[in-house]
Amino acid sequence: MALKKYKPITAGTRWRIGNAYAEITTNEPEKTLVEKISKTGGRNAQGRRSMRYIGGGNKKMFRIIDFKRNKKNIEGTVASIEYDPNRTAFIALINYKDGEKRYILAPQGLQVGGTIVSGDAVAPEVGNALQMKNMPLGTNIHNIEMQPGQGGKLVRSAGTSAQLANKEEKYAVLKMPSGELRKILINCYATVGVVSNGDHNLEMMGKAGRNRWRGIRPRNRGVAMNPVDHPMGGGEGKSSGGHPRSRTGKYAKGLKTRQRGKGSDKLIIQRKNGKKLAK
């Protein structure tokens, strides 16, 4: 994880802090594990714009990632660590002994030439995938399943990890990156380690054009619009716009949007704000 601060030889590099990509070992993805991904420009099936501020950007291919880690008890060797334009984390190309190749999320510390394996009775080492009931307490994990065999759904972005805090009869208690304490079925699979590219949140674009390359168009502020266009629009001079809210009138700050009586409430021990849910 190394950042690169650019010399201010142009206006665009004056504030730019980029990734040095010191861990990346190749620029070419595995051809058998990529597929075409098409852009929508924010348009739906009728061709009407349903999402604003989307459009343009460089072309990219989708890398097929193995989130299920269901190749059990077959050892794989790390062939390369690669950049993935579709996610914040780096990915690792794994060559398995039976000849198959797969991409996985690269954890921190995984090196080219290292070996990984998934299964019920494997060692809880970095890159290995196993059931949480077979992990020691305090293990940092990522790519966590919510239902057995479903594939990893939680903790997949750069630099994140959850900690195995406790084990109950059929549940593992995890401390999530947000600080939330929640239960997950103990026979779900997870991968040991912290997700790579932990300095991702410290990068700075440096100029607006870099976001255009990513397919992000300029975002217009609600207070700069007319009243007909946004609830915060209008007014004489620089009006504050009132309580921050969305274009459709929903409050942007403080409004609870979680469904009341949601089924997973009973699995959440403590929310990220430190409040315990009523039983």
For 67-82, write each residue's pLDDT tens digit: 999 999 999 999 999 9
- pLDDT tens, 194-241? 999 999 999 999 999 999 999 999 999 999 999 999 999 999 998 887
Tokens of 68: 């299920």
**The pLDDT value given to residue 207:** 95
**The pLDDT value given to residue 240:** 82
Helix, strand, coil % in the chain, rounded to nearest 5: 10, 30, 60
List the domains of the chain with CATH numbers.
3-200 (2.40.50.140), 220-279 (4.10.950.10)
End-to-end CA distance of the chain: 42
Whole-model pTM?
Answer: 0.92
With cut-offs at 50, 70 and 90, classify the pLDDT of residue 277: low
- pLDDT tens, 262-271? 999 999 999 8
25: helix, strand or coil: coil
**CA dist., res. 134 & res. 143, Å (int):** 16
Q: What average pLDDT score do residues 123-142 get?
A: 96
pLDDT at 279 over 70: no
**CA dist., res. 112 & res. 105, Å (int):** 14
134: helix, strand or coil: helix
**The pLDDT value given to residue 83:** 97
Tokens of 202: 């410290």
Length of the chain measured in residues: 279
Strand partners, 105: 91
**The pLDDT value given to residue 254:** 87
Q: What average pLDDT score do residues 161-166 get?
A: 97
- pLDDT tens, 86-129? 999 999 999 999 999 999 999 999 999 999 999 998 999 999 99
**CA dist., res. 136 & res. 107, Å (int):** 18
pLDDT at 278 over 90: no
**CA dist., res. 81 & res. 30, Å (int):** 11
pLDDT at 166 over 70: yes
Could you tell me which residues come within 8 angstroms of residue 182 by beta carbon, excluding any fewer than 6 positions away?
Answer: 173, 174, 176, 264, 267, 268, 269
**CA dist., res. 82 & res. 58, Å (int):** 18
What percent of the chain has a predicted confidence (pLDDT) above 70? 99
Q: How many CB atoms lie within 10 A of CB 89?
A: 24
With cut-offs at 50, 70 and 90, classify the pLDDT of residue 131: very high
Give pairs for 257-266: CB < 8 Å, separation 24+.
Answer: 264/182
